[in-house]
Amino acid sequence: MKLALLALSAADPHGDEPPAWARTLSNWSMLDVVLVALAIFAAKTSGLATAFTLPGLWFFVASVALTVTASALLKRKGR
């Protein structure tokens, strides 16, 4: 959702700031990732499961890097 709002904001040259609810929602955008990481950590340390690093991790890292870059470009643009 955060990426979609950044894309819409970048594409609209006369657009206003994102709505207040979008800013509030973006503060919680990584909560699900943290909860999954904690569940995997708990399962792995208790011996219930094993976890491996797969290529999806690199897609996630690329997504984070692109989001940071897009956000910085929008701030530089004056939005």
Per-residue pLDDT of 27-72, as tens digits, reads 667 777 888 888 888 888 898 888 787 888 889 889 888 888 887 8
Give the pLDDT score at 2. 66
**Taking 70 as the threshold, does the pLDDT of residue 21 lie above it?**
no
Give the pLDDT score at 63. 86
Buried b or exposed e, range 47-72, using 16+ CB within 10 angstroms:
eeeeeeeeeeeeeeeeeeeeeeebbe
